[in-house]
Structure 1
Amino acid sequence: MPLRKESPPAVADAVPLPRTLVPHLDDTAILLDIDGTLLDLMPTPREVWVPPGLAETLRGLLSRTSGALALVSGRSLNDIDLIFAPDQFPAIGGHGAEMRLRGDGDSAATRAPQMDQELKRRLAAIARLSPGILLEDKGYSLALHYRLAPHAEQAIYEAVSLIRADLPDAPIEVLPGKCVCEIKPAGFTKASGVRALMTHQPFRGRRPFFIGDDVTDESVFAIMPDFDGLAFSVGRRAQGVAGHFDAPQDVREFLARLLDDGGSAAKP
Protein backbone atom coordinates (compact mmCIF):
# COMPACT_ATOMS: atom_id res chain seq x y z
CA MET A 1 0.00 0.00 0.00
CA PRO A 2 1.22 3.54 -0.60
CA LEU A 3 0.70 4.47 3.03
CA ARG A 4 3.56 2.90 4.95
CA LYS A 5 3.05 1.61 8.44
CA GLU A 6 5.56 2.81 11.03
CA SER A 7 7.31 0.59 13.56
CA PRO A 8 4.77 -0.39 16.24
CA PRO A 9 4.89 1.89 19.27
CA ALA A 10 5.52 0.48 22.72
CA VAL A 11 1.79 0.26 23.48
CA ALA A 12 -0.80 -2.45 23.15
CA ASP A 13 -2.39 -1.22 19.93
CA ALA A 14 -0.13 -0.89 16.90
CA VAL A 15 -0.90 1.51 14.04
CA PRO A 16 -3.78 -0.02 12.05
CA LEU A 17 -4.47 0.32 8.35
CA PRO A 18 -5.53 3.78 7.16
CA ARG A 19 -9.23 2.97 6.78
CA THR A 20 -9.51 2.00 10.44
CA LEU A 21 -7.06 4.67 11.57
CA VAL A 22 -9.05 7.56 10.12
CA PRO A 23 -12.20 8.42 12.10
CA HIS A 24 -15.56 8.91 10.45
CA LEU A 25 -15.74 12.04 8.29
CA ASP A 26 -18.51 13.37 10.52
CA ASP A 27 -15.95 13.66 13.33
CA THR A 28 -12.85 14.63 11.35
CA ALA A 29 -11.13 17.86 10.36
CA ILE A 30 -8.97 17.20 7.29
CA LEU A 31 -5.89 19.45 7.14
CA LEU A 32 -3.63 19.26 4.10
CA ASP A 33 -0.35 20.86 3.10
CA ILE A 34 -0.14 21.67 -0.62
CA ASP A 35 3.34 21.60 -2.18
CA GLY A 36 4.94 18.18 -1.90
CA THR A 37 1.80 16.78 -0.27
CA LEU A 38 -1.19 17.33 -2.54
CA LEU A 39 0.81 18.60 -5.50
CA ASP A 40 4.08 17.36 -6.95
CA LEU A 41 7.04 19.67 -6.46
CA MET A 42 8.19 21.53 -9.56
CA PRO A 43 11.36 23.50 -10.44
CA THR A 44 9.58 26.77 -9.60
CA PRO A 45 6.54 27.52 -7.39
CA ARG A 46 4.56 28.84 -10.38
CA GLU A 47 4.86 25.56 -12.28
CA VAL A 48 2.76 23.46 -9.92
CA TRP A 49 -0.57 22.25 -11.26
CA VAL A 50 -3.67 20.53 -9.94
CA PRO A 51 -4.01 17.01 -11.41
CA PRO A 52 -7.38 15.89 -12.79
CA GLY A 53 -9.78 14.74 -10.11
CA LEU A 54 -8.07 16.38 -7.14
CA ALA A 55 -10.31 19.44 -6.95
CA GLU A 56 -13.37 17.20 -7.21
CA THR A 57 -12.05 15.05 -4.34
CA LEU A 58 -11.40 18.11 -2.17
CA ARG A 59 -14.86 19.50 -2.88
CA GLY A 60 -16.37 16.15 -1.95
CA LEU A 61 -14.44 15.92 1.31
CA LEU A 62 -15.33 19.52 2.13
CA SER A 63 -18.99 18.63 1.76
CA ARG A 64 -18.75 15.33 3.65
CA THR A 65 -17.00 17.02 6.59
CA SER A 66 -19.54 19.87 6.65
CA GLY A 67 -16.80 22.34 5.75
CA ALA A 68 -14.08 20.99 8.04
CA LEU A 69 -11.37 20.70 5.41
CA ALA A 70 -8.55 23.24 5.19
CA LEU A 71 -5.38 23.69 3.19
CA VAL A 72 -2.39 24.53 5.41
CA SER A 73 0.36 26.17 3.39
CA GLY A 74 3.29 28.53 3.36
CA ARG A 75 1.71 30.11 0.29
CA SER A 76 -0.50 33.17 0.61
CA LEU A 77 -4.26 32.78 0.36
CA ASN A 78 -4.18 34.64 -2.93
CA ASP A 79 -1.59 32.24 -4.32
CA ILE A 80 -3.58 29.22 -3.10
CA ASP A 81 -6.68 30.54 -4.85
CA LEU A 82 -4.79 31.06 -8.11
CA ILE A 83 -3.58 27.46 -8.05
CA PHE A 84 -7.00 25.95 -7.34
CA ALA A 85 -9.09 28.48 -9.32
CA PRO A 86 -12.02 28.67 -9.66
CA ASP A 87 -12.32 26.70 -6.40
CA GLN A 88 -11.72 28.32 -3.04
CA PHE A 89 -11.17 26.28 0.11
CA PRO A 90 -10.82 27.10 3.81
CA ALA A 91 -7.13 27.67 4.35
CA ILE A 92 -4.27 28.73 6.56
CA GLY A 93 -1.81 30.72 4.46
CA GLY A 94 1.66 32.08 4.96
CA HIS A 95 2.70 29.64 7.69
CA GLY A 96 -0.12 30.84 9.93
CA ALA A 97 -0.10 34.49 8.89
CA GLU A 98 -3.50 34.25 7.19
CA MET A 99 -6.64 32.25 7.89
CA ARG A 100 -9.92 31.73 6.03
CA LEU A 101 -12.62 29.66 7.68
CA ARG A 102 -14.85 29.29 4.67
CA GLY A 103 -14.18 28.77 0.99
CA ASP A 104 -16.48 31.54 -0.18
CA GLY A 105 -13.95 34.25 0.62
CA ASP A 106 -15.60 35.32 3.89
CA SER A 107 -13.98 35.17 7.33
CA ALA A 108 -10.49 35.85 6.00
CA ALA A 109 -8.07 37.42 8.45
CA THR A 110 -4.44 38.51 8.27
CA ARG A 111 -2.69 37.56 11.48
CA ALA A 112 0.79 38.97 10.78
CA PRO A 113 2.10 42.48 10.04
CA GLN A 114 3.70 43.44 6.74
CA MET A 115 7.47 43.06 6.73
CA ASP A 116 9.53 46.25 7.05
CA GLN A 117 10.27 47.54 3.55
CA GLU A 118 13.93 48.33 4.18
CA LEU A 119 14.50 44.86 5.63
CA LYS A 120 12.69 43.36 2.67
CA ARG A 121 14.91 45.25 0.22
CA ARG A 122 18.05 43.99 1.93
CA LEU A 123 16.82 40.42 1.89
CA ALA A 124 15.64 40.66 -1.72
CA ALA A 125 19.14 41.67 -2.81
CA ILE A 126 20.31 38.16 -1.87
CA ALA A 127 18.63 36.90 -5.04
CA ARG A 128 21.43 38.54 -7.00
CA LEU A 129 23.84 35.87 -5.76
CA SER A 130 22.77 33.57 -8.60
CA PRO A 131 20.48 33.79 -11.66
CA GLY A 132 18.69 30.65 -10.47
CA ILE A 133 17.46 32.16 -7.18
CA LEU A 134 13.78 33.09 -7.40
CA LEU A 135 12.37 35.78 -5.15
CA GLU A 136 8.81 35.51 -3.80
CA ASP A 137 7.35 38.49 -1.95
CA LYS A 138 4.33 37.50 0.15
CA GLY A 139 3.97 40.90 1.81
CA TYR A 140 4.35 39.61 5.36
CA SER A 141 7.31 37.38 4.40
CA LEU A 142 9.91 36.90 1.72
CA ALA A 143 11.04 33.57 0.24
CA LEU A 144 14.22 32.78 -1.67
CA HIS A 145 13.76 29.67 -3.82
CA TYR A 146 16.92 27.96 -5.01
CA ARG A 147 15.72 24.72 -6.62
CA LEU A 148 17.29 26.00 -9.86
CA ALA A 149 20.46 27.04 -8.04
CA PRO A 150 21.16 24.40 -5.36
CA HIS A 151 24.82 25.44 -5.25
CA ALA A 152 23.73 28.78 -3.75
CA GLU A 153 22.15 27.31 -0.60
CA GLN A 154 25.02 28.01 1.77
CA ALA A 155 25.60 31.50 0.39
CA ILE A 156 21.93 32.36 0.82
CA TYR A 157 21.82 31.33 4.46
CA GLU A 158 25.11 33.06 5.19
CA ALA A 159 23.79 36.29 3.67
CA VAL A 160 20.58 36.05 5.70
CA SER A 161 22.61 35.44 8.86
CA LEU A 162 24.68 38.57 8.24
CA ILE A 163 21.54 40.67 7.88
CA ARG A 164 20.05 39.20 11.05
CA ALA A 165 23.29 39.88 12.93
CA ASP A 166 23.11 43.50 11.75
CA LEU A 167 19.48 43.74 12.91
CA PRO A 168 19.34 41.62 16.09
CA ASP A 169 16.10 43.23 17.28
CA ALA A 170 14.14 42.58 14.10
CA PRO A 171 11.13 40.36 15.01
CA ILE A 172 11.78 37.81 12.28
CA GLU A 173 12.73 34.16 11.97
CA VAL A 174 14.25 32.08 9.20
CA LEU A 175 12.20 29.13 8.03
CA PRO A 176 14.15 26.58 5.95
CA GLY A 177 12.24 24.36 3.56
CA LYS A 178 12.75 22.20 0.49
CA CYS A 179 15.08 24.37 -1.62
CA VAL A 180 13.65 27.53 -0.09
CA CYS A 181 14.73 29.95 2.61
CA GLU A 182 11.84 32.01 3.94
CA ILE A 183 12.10 34.98 6.27
CA LYS A 184 8.87 35.66 8.16
CA PRO A 185 7.57 37.45 11.26
CA ALA A 186 8.32 35.65 14.49
CA GLY A 187 5.46 34.13 16.43
CA PHE A 188 3.48 32.67 13.56
CA THR A 189 3.75 29.07 12.42
CA LYS A 190 1.54 26.51 10.75
CA ALA A 191 0.96 25.11 14.23
CA SER A 192 -0.25 28.45 15.60
CA GLY A 193 -2.53 28.73 12.59
CA VAL A 194 -3.95 25.25 13.15
CA ARG A 195 -4.50 25.96 16.84
CA ALA A 196 -6.47 29.08 15.93
CA LEU A 197 -8.41 27.24 13.24
CA MET A 198 -9.43 24.47 15.65
CA THR A 199 -11.17 27.00 17.91
CA HIS A 200 -13.70 27.86 15.19
CA GLN A 201 -16.64 25.99 13.76
CA PRO A 202 -16.87 23.68 11.90
CA PHE A 203 -13.39 22.55 13.04
CA ARG A 204 -13.90 22.90 16.80
CA GLY A 205 -14.40 19.57 18.58
CA ARG A 206 -13.33 17.46 15.63
CA ARG A 207 -10.33 15.16 15.41
CA PRO A 208 -7.75 16.67 13.04
CA PHE A 209 -6.07 14.53 10.41
CA PHE A 210 -3.04 16.33 8.98
CA ILE A 211 -0.78 15.39 6.06
CA GLY A 212 2.44 17.32 5.33
CA ASP A 213 5.85 16.77 3.85
CA ASP A 214 8.31 19.49 4.80
CA VAL A 215 10.24 20.74 7.81
CA THR A 216 7.66 23.52 8.06
CA ASP A 217 4.98 20.91 8.76
CA GLU A 218 6.75 19.45 11.78
CA SER A 219 5.25 22.05 14.11
CA VAL A 220 1.79 20.72 13.15
CA PHE A 221 2.89 17.10 13.58
CA ALA A 222 3.93 18.02 17.11
CA ILE A 223 0.56 19.42 18.21
CA MET A 224 -1.69 16.68 16.83
CA PRO A 225 -1.73 14.78 20.18
CA ASP A 226 -3.17 17.92 21.81
CA PHE A 227 -6.31 17.41 19.72
CA ASP A 228 -6.27 13.61 19.74
CA GLY A 229 -5.31 14.04 16.10
CA LEU A 230 -3.23 12.09 13.63
CA ALA A 231 -0.41 13.18 11.35
CA PHE A 232 1.15 11.58 8.28
CA SER A 233 4.26 12.67 6.41
CA VAL A 234 5.01 12.41 2.71
CA GLY A 235 8.25 11.14 1.21
CA ARG A 236 9.96 10.52 4.55
CA ARG A 237 9.26 9.12 7.99
CA ALA A 238 8.98 12.23 10.11
CA GLN A 239 9.15 12.04 13.89
CA GLY A 240 5.82 11.78 15.67
CA VAL A 241 3.67 10.72 12.72
CA ALA A 242 1.42 7.67 12.50
CA GLY A 243 2.72 6.70 9.06
CA HIS A 244 3.86 8.08 5.75
CA PHE A 245 3.03 8.25 2.06
CA ASP A 246 5.69 7.78 -0.57
CA ALA A 247 4.58 10.61 -2.86
CA PRO A 248 1.76 13.15 -3.48
CA GLN A 249 0.18 10.74 -5.96
CA ASP A 250 -0.35 8.31 -3.08
CA VAL A 251 -1.94 11.07 -0.98
CA ARG A 252 -4.35 11.93 -3.78
CA GLU A 253 -5.33 8.29 -4.23
CA PHE A 254 -5.85 7.88 -0.48
CA LEU A 255 -8.09 10.95 -0.29
CA ALA A 256 -10.16 9.71 -3.23
CA ARG A 257 -10.60 6.33 -1.50
CA LEU A 258 -11.47 8.07 1.75
CA LEU A 259 -14.22 10.01 -0.01
CA ASP A 260 -15.54 6.87 -1.70
CA ASP A 261 -15.57 4.97 1.61
CA GLY A 262 -17.13 7.86 3.46
CA GLY A 263 -14.66 7.41 6.31
CA SER A 264 -17.12 4.93 7.74
CA ALA A 265 -14.61 2.25 8.72
CA ALA A 266 -14.05 3.67 12.19
CA LYS A 267 -17.76 3.98 12.96
CA PRO A 268 -19.38 1.00 14.73
Structure 2
Amino acid sequence: MIKDVAEMHNNLSAGEEEAPERVPVPRSLVPHLSETAILLDIDGTLLDLMPTPREVWVPPGLAKTLNGLMEQTSGALALVSGRSLNDIDLIFAPDQFPAVGGHGAEMRLNVDAEAVSGQAPPMDKELKRRLAAIARLSPGILLEDKGYSLALHYRLAPHAERAIYEAISLIRADLPEAPIEVLPGKCVFEIKHAGFTKANGVRELMKQAPFMGRKPLFIGDDVTDESVFAIMPDMKGLAFSVGRRAEGVNGHFDAPSDVREFLAHILDDARIPAPR
Protein backbone atom coordinates (compact mmCIF):
# COMPACT_ATOMS: atom_id res chain seq x y z
CA MET A 1 0.00 0.00 0.00
CA ILE A 2 1.15 3.58 -0.64
CA LYS A 3 1.73 5.35 2.65
CA ASP A 4 -0.27 8.48 3.37
CA VAL A 5 1.76 11.17 1.62
CA ALA A 6 -0.11 14.03 3.27
CA GLU A 7 0.54 12.72 6.78
CA MET A 8 4.22 12.14 6.11
CA HIS A 9 4.58 15.52 4.42
CA ASN A 10 2.96 17.28 7.36
CA ASN A 11 5.15 15.42 9.84
CA LEU A 12 8.28 16.39 7.93
CA SER A 13 7.26 20.04 7.69
CA ALA A 14 6.52 20.17 11.40
CA GLY A 15 9.92 18.68 12.19
CA GLU A 16 11.75 21.18 10.02
CA GLU A 17 9.98 24.15 11.57
CA GLU A 18 11.36 23.33 15.01
CA ALA A 19 14.75 24.96 15.57
CA PRO A 20 16.70 22.47 17.67
CA GLU A 21 18.65 23.75 20.62
CA ARG A 22 22.39 23.52 20.11
CA VAL A 23 23.47 20.66 22.36
CA PRO A 24 26.89 19.15 21.70
CA VAL A 25 26.90 15.37 21.44
CA PRO A 26 29.23 14.11 24.19
CA ARG A 27 31.87 11.77 22.83
CA SER A 28 31.75 9.90 26.13
CA LEU A 29 28.48 8.33 24.93
CA VAL A 30 30.35 6.36 22.28
CA PRO A 31 31.59 2.92 23.38
CA HIS A 32 35.18 1.97 22.61
CA LEU A 33 35.52 1.60 18.86
CA SER A 34 36.48 -2.05 19.28
CA GLU A 35 32.87 -2.58 20.44
CA THR A 36 31.16 -0.19 18.00
CA ALA A 37 29.73 -0.41 14.47
CA ILE A 38 29.59 3.03 12.86
CA LEU A 39 26.68 3.48 10.42
CA LEU A 40 26.41 6.74 8.50
CA ASP A 41 23.89 8.24 6.11
CA ILE A 42 25.52 10.29 3.35
CA ASP A 43 23.49 13.22 1.95
CA GLY A 44 22.75 15.82 4.61
CA THR A 45 24.67 13.80 7.20
CA LEU A 46 28.25 13.25 6.07
CA LEU A 47 28.04 15.52 3.04
CA ASP A 48 26.44 18.94 2.68
CA LEU A 49 23.31 19.09 0.54
CA MET A 50 23.76 20.72 -2.85
CA PRO A 51 21.31 22.08 -5.47
CA THR A 52 21.49 18.76 -7.37
CA PRO A 53 22.49 15.25 -6.25
CA ARG A 54 25.44 15.21 -8.67
CA GLU A 55 27.01 18.28 -7.08
CA VAL A 56 27.76 16.74 -3.69
CA TRP A 57 31.45 16.41 -2.92
CA VAL A 58 33.66 14.85 -0.27
CA PRO A 59 35.43 17.53 1.80
CA PRO A 60 39.18 17.25 2.38
CA GLY A 61 40.02 14.99 5.28
CA LEU A 62 36.75 13.06 5.39
CA ALA A 63 38.01 10.00 3.50
CA LYS A 64 41.04 9.89 5.80
CA THR A 65 38.76 9.99 8.85
CA LEU A 66 36.51 7.23 7.48
CA ASN A 67 39.47 5.02 6.64
CA GLY A 68 40.88 5.60 10.12
CA LEU A 69 37.57 4.61 11.69
CA MET A 70 37.49 1.53 9.45
CA GLU A 71 40.86 0.53 10.87
CA GLN A 72 39.91 1.23 14.49
CA THR A 73 36.62 -0.73 14.18
CA SER A 74 38.24 -3.63 12.28
CA GLY A 75 36.06 -2.84 9.27
CA ALA A 76 32.78 -2.26 11.11
CA LEU A 77 31.91 1.02 9.39
CA ALA A 78 29.20 1.25 6.73
CA LEU A 79 27.52 3.95 4.71
CA VAL A 80 23.71 3.63 4.77
CA SER A 81 22.06 5.47 1.90
CA GLY A 82 19.19 5.67 -0.53
CA ARG A 83 21.81 5.93 -3.26
CA SER A 84 22.91 2.83 -5.14
CA LEU A 85 26.24 1.22 -4.28
CA ASN A 86 27.56 2.26 -7.67
CA ASP A 87 26.62 5.88 -7.00
CA ILE A 88 28.19 5.78 -3.53
CA ASP A 89 31.44 4.49 -5.02
CA LEU A 90 31.47 7.27 -7.61
CA ILE A 91 31.10 9.92 -4.92
CA PHE A 92 33.86 8.55 -2.68
CA ALA A 93 36.21 7.32 -5.44
CA PRO A 94 38.89 6.10 -5.27
CA ASP A 95 37.95 5.03 -1.73
CA GLN A 96 35.38 2.30 -1.14
CA PHE A 97 33.51 1.44 2.04
CA PRO A 98 31.07 -1.22 3.21
CA ALA A 99 27.58 0.04 2.49
CA VAL A 100 23.84 -0.49 2.55
CA GLY A 101 22.49 1.07 -0.65
CA GLY A 102 19.10 1.66 -2.24
CA HIS A 103 17.31 2.00 1.12
CA GLY A 104 18.31 -1.56 2.06
CA ALA A 105 17.97 -3.07 -1.40
CA GLU A 106 21.74 -3.65 -1.74
CA MET A 107 24.56 -4.45 0.66
CA ARG A 108 28.34 -4.80 0.60
CA LEU A 109 29.93 -6.12 3.79
CA ASN A 110 33.51 -5.16 2.95
CA VAL A 111 35.40 -3.51 0.13
CA ASP A 112 36.51 -6.86 -1.32
CA ALA A 113 33.05 -8.45 -1.27
CA GLU A 114 30.54 -8.57 -4.09
CA ALA A 115 27.37 -6.54 -3.65
CA VAL A 116 24.46 -8.58 -2.37
CA SER A 117 20.88 -7.80 -3.35
CA GLY A 118 18.19 -7.97 -0.72
CA GLN A 119 15.93 -9.38 -3.46
CA ALA A 120 14.06 -6.12 -3.66
CA PRO A 121 11.54 -6.32 -6.52
CA PRO A 122 11.97 -3.79 -9.31
CA MET A 123 9.46 -0.97 -9.52
CA ASP A 124 6.67 -1.56 -12.03
CA LYS A 125 7.70 -0.02 -15.37
CA GLU A 126 4.37 1.67 -16.00
CA LEU A 127 4.31 3.10 -12.49
CA LYS A 128 7.88 4.35 -12.93
CA ARG A 129 6.90 5.98 -16.24
CA ARG A 130 3.99 7.81 -14.65
CA LEU A 131 6.08 9.03 -11.75
CA ALA A 132 8.90 10.12 -14.04
CA ALA A 133 6.46 12.25 -16.05
CA ILE A 134 5.94 14.45 -12.97
CA ALA A 135 9.35 16.00 -13.67
CA ARG A 136 7.78 17.75 -16.68
CA LEU A 137 5.58 19.89 -14.45
CA SER A 138 8.19 22.61 -14.12
CA PRO A 139 11.77 23.44 -15.15
CA GLY A 140 14.08 22.71 -12.25
CA ILE A 141 12.41 19.49 -11.12
CA LEU A 142 15.10 16.84 -11.34
CA LEU A 143 14.35 13.16 -11.77
CA GLU A 144 16.82 10.71 -10.20
CA ASP A 145 16.38 7.06 -11.08
CA LYS A 146 18.17 5.09 -8.34
CA GLY A 147 17.24 1.72 -9.77
CA TYR A 148 15.21 0.54 -6.80
CA SER A 149 13.54 3.92 -6.33
CA LEU A 150 12.76 7.22 -8.01
CA ALA A 151 13.45 10.64 -6.53
CA LEU A 152 11.88 13.93 -7.61
CA HIS A 153 14.08 16.82 -6.47
CA TYR A 154 12.70 20.36 -6.40
CA ARG A 155 15.51 22.30 -4.70
CA LEU A 156 15.83 24.30 -7.95
CA ALA A 157 12.05 24.68 -8.21
CA PRO A 158 10.69 25.15 -4.67
CA HIS A 159 7.47 26.63 -6.06
CA ALA A 160 6.65 23.21 -7.55
CA GLU A 161 6.42 21.34 -4.23
CA ARG A 162 2.63 21.45 -4.07
CA ALA A 163 2.22 20.43 -7.72
CA ILE A 164 4.54 17.43 -7.23
CA TYR A 165 2.70 16.42 -4.07
CA GLU A 166 -0.68 16.63 -5.81
CA ALA A 167 0.57 14.65 -8.83
CA ILE A 168 1.87 11.87 -6.59
CA SER A 169 -1.43 11.90 -4.70
CA LEU A 170 -3.36 11.41 -7.96
CA ILE A 171 -1.26 8.38 -8.82
CA ARG A 172 -1.84 7.10 -5.30
CA ALA A 173 -5.59 7.44 -5.78
CA ASP A 174 -5.43 5.56 -9.09
CA LEU A 175 -3.32 2.74 -7.66
CA PRO A 176 -4.33 2.34 -4.02
CA GLU A 177 -3.00 -1.23 -3.83
CA ALA A 178 0.41 -0.51 -5.35
CA PRO A 179 3.09 -1.67 -2.86
CA ILE A 180 5.06 1.55 -2.84
CA GLU A 181 6.12 4.01 -0.18
CA VAL A 182 6.46 7.76 -0.66
CA LEU A 183 9.11 9.46 1.43
CA PRO A 184 9.18 13.28 1.52
CA GLY A 185 12.62 14.67 2.31
CA LYS A 186 14.56 17.90 2.05
CA CYS A 187 13.26 19.31 -1.24
CA VAL A 188 12.64 15.81 -2.56
CA PHE A 189 9.92 13.19 -2.81
CA GLU A 190 11.29 9.67 -3.06
CA ILE A 191 9.19 6.70 -4.17
CA LYS A 192 10.33 3.15 -3.49
CA HIS A 193 8.94 -0.35 -3.01
CA ALA A 194 7.41 -0.74 0.44
CA GLY A 195 9.03 -4.13 1.00
CA PHE A 196 12.45 -2.85 2.07
CA THR A 197 13.82 -0.07 4.27
CA LYS A 198 17.11 1.15 5.61
CA ALA A 199 16.16 -0.52 8.89
CA ASN A 200 15.83 -3.90 7.17
CA GLY A 201 19.25 -3.41 5.62
CA VAL A 202 20.83 -2.43 8.93
CA ARG A 203 19.28 -5.42 10.71
CA GLU A 204 20.77 -7.76 8.11
CA LEU A 205 24.13 -5.97 8.19
CA MET A 206 24.36 -6.33 11.98
CA LYS A 207 24.01 -10.12 11.66
CA GLN A 208 27.22 -10.33 9.64
CA ALA A 209 30.89 -10.09 10.56
CA PRO A 210 32.55 -7.73 11.41
CA PHE A 211 29.37 -5.90 12.54
CA MET A 212 27.85 -8.78 14.51
CA GLY A 213 28.04 -8.43 18.28
CA ARG A 214 28.85 -4.72 18.21
CA LYS A 215 26.79 -1.75 19.37
CA PRO A 216 25.67 0.30 16.36
CA LEU A 217 26.05 4.06 16.24
CA PHE A 218 23.86 5.51 13.50
CA ILE A 219 23.76 9.11 12.27
CA GLY A 220 21.13 10.29 9.77
CA ASP A 221 19.21 13.41 8.86
CA ASP A 222 16.04 12.67 6.96
CA VAL A 223 12.68 10.88 7.08
CA THR A 224 14.27 7.89 5.35
CA ASP A 225 16.55 7.47 8.38
CA GLU A 226 13.77 7.34 10.95
CA SER A 227 13.24 3.59 10.51
CA VAL A 228 16.87 3.10 11.62
CA PHE A 229 16.51 5.51 14.55
CA ALA A 230 13.58 3.39 15.71
CA ILE A 231 15.52 0.10 15.90
CA MET A 232 18.63 1.39 17.68
CA PRO A 233 17.23 0.75 21.21
CA ASP A 234 16.57 -2.90 20.25
CA MET A 235 20.25 -3.24 19.35
CA LYS A 236 21.52 -1.31 22.38
CA GLY A 237 22.76 1.26 19.89
CA LEU A 238 22.91 5.03 19.65
CA ALA A 239 21.13 7.28 17.16
CA PHE A 240 21.88 10.90 16.31
CA SER A 241 19.99 13.17 13.91
CA VAL A 242 21.35 16.06 11.87
CA GLY A 243 19.67 19.43 11.39
CA ARG A 244 16.61 18.62 13.45
CA ARG A 245 15.81 16.79 16.65
CA ALA A 246 14.19 13.57 15.45
CA GLU A 247 12.04 11.52 17.78
CA GLY A 248 13.84 8.94 19.91
CA VAL A 249 17.43 9.96 19.14
CA ASN A 250 20.19 10.28 21.73
CA GLY A 251 21.26 13.69 20.44
CA HIS A 252 21.61 15.78 17.33
CA PHE A 253 24.08 17.78 15.25
CA ASP A 254 23.33 21.10 13.61
CA ALA A 255 25.04 20.36 10.29
CA PRO A 256 27.16 17.78 8.41
CA SER A 257 30.29 19.77 9.30
CA ASP A 258 29.56 19.01 12.97
CA VAL A 259 29.24 15.30 12.15
CA ARG A 260 32.58 15.32 10.36
CA GLU A 261 34.22 17.07 13.30
CA PHE A 262 32.68 14.60 15.75
CA LEU A 263 33.93 11.60 13.76
CA ALA A 264 37.43 13.09 13.59
CA HIS A 265 37.40 13.59 17.35
CA ILE A 266 36.29 10.04 18.21
CA LEU A 267 39.02 8.75 15.90
CA ASP A 268 41.58 10.88 17.73
CA ASP A 269 40.24 9.65 21.08
CA ALA A 270 40.63 6.03 19.95
CA ARG A 271 44.25 6.62 19.02
CA ILE A 272 45.24 7.98 22.45
CA PRO A 273 47.22 5.23 24.23
CA ALA A 274 45.55 3.85 27.35
CA PRO A 275 47.27 4.93 30.60
CA ARG A 276 49.53 2.30 32.14
Distance 1:32 1:149, change over 3 A: same
The correspondence for 1:88, drawn from 80, 92, 96, is 96
Shift of 1:5: 3.7
Correspondence for 2:263: 255
The correspondence for 1:169, drawn from 174, 177, 185, is 177
The TM-score normalised by the length of structure 2 is 0.88
Distance 1:248 1:266, change over 3 A: farther
Shift of 1:43: 0.5
Task: Give SS of 2:133's match.
Answer: helix
The correspondence for 1:202, drawn from 200, 210, 226, is 210
- Specify the code of the residue in structure 2 equivalent to 1:166: D
Shift of 1:246: 1.2
Identify which range, 166-175 or 74-83, moves more after superposition: 166-175
* Cα distance in 2, alignment partners of residues 165 and 266 from structure 1: 61
| Identical amino acids, percent of aligned pairs | 81
Distance 1:127 1:266, change over 3 A: farther
- The aligned runs of 1:1-268 (5 Å cut-off) are 4-5=22-23, 18-262=26-270
Shift of 1:109: 2.3
Shift of 1:261: 1.0
Shift of 1:79: 0.7
Distance 1:266 1:136, change over 3 A: farther
Shift of 1:264: 7.4
- Specify the code of the residue in structure 2 equivalent to 1:174: V
Alignment gaps of 5+ in structure 1 = 7-16
- For 1:135-192, what per-residue CA distance to the aligned partner results, in whole angstroms no more than 9, with x for missing partners? 0111221110011111111111111111122122221111111111111001211111
* Cα distance in 1, alignment partners of residues 137 and 233 from structure 2: 42
- Specify the code of the residue in structure 1 equivalent to 2:145: D
Distance 1:105 1:224, change over 3 A: same
Identify which range, 156-165 or 122-131, moves more after superposition: 156-165
8 Å contact from structure 1 (residues 237, 243) kept in 2: yes
- For 1:5-50, what per-residue CA distance to the aligned partner results, in whole angstroms no more than 9, with x for missing partners? 48xxxxxxxxxx6221100000000000101110001000000000
Alignment gaps of 5+ in structure 2 = 1-20
The runs of 4+ residues in structure 1 deviating greater than 6 Å are: 263-267
Aligned length: 256
Task: Give SS of 2:176's match.
Answer: coil
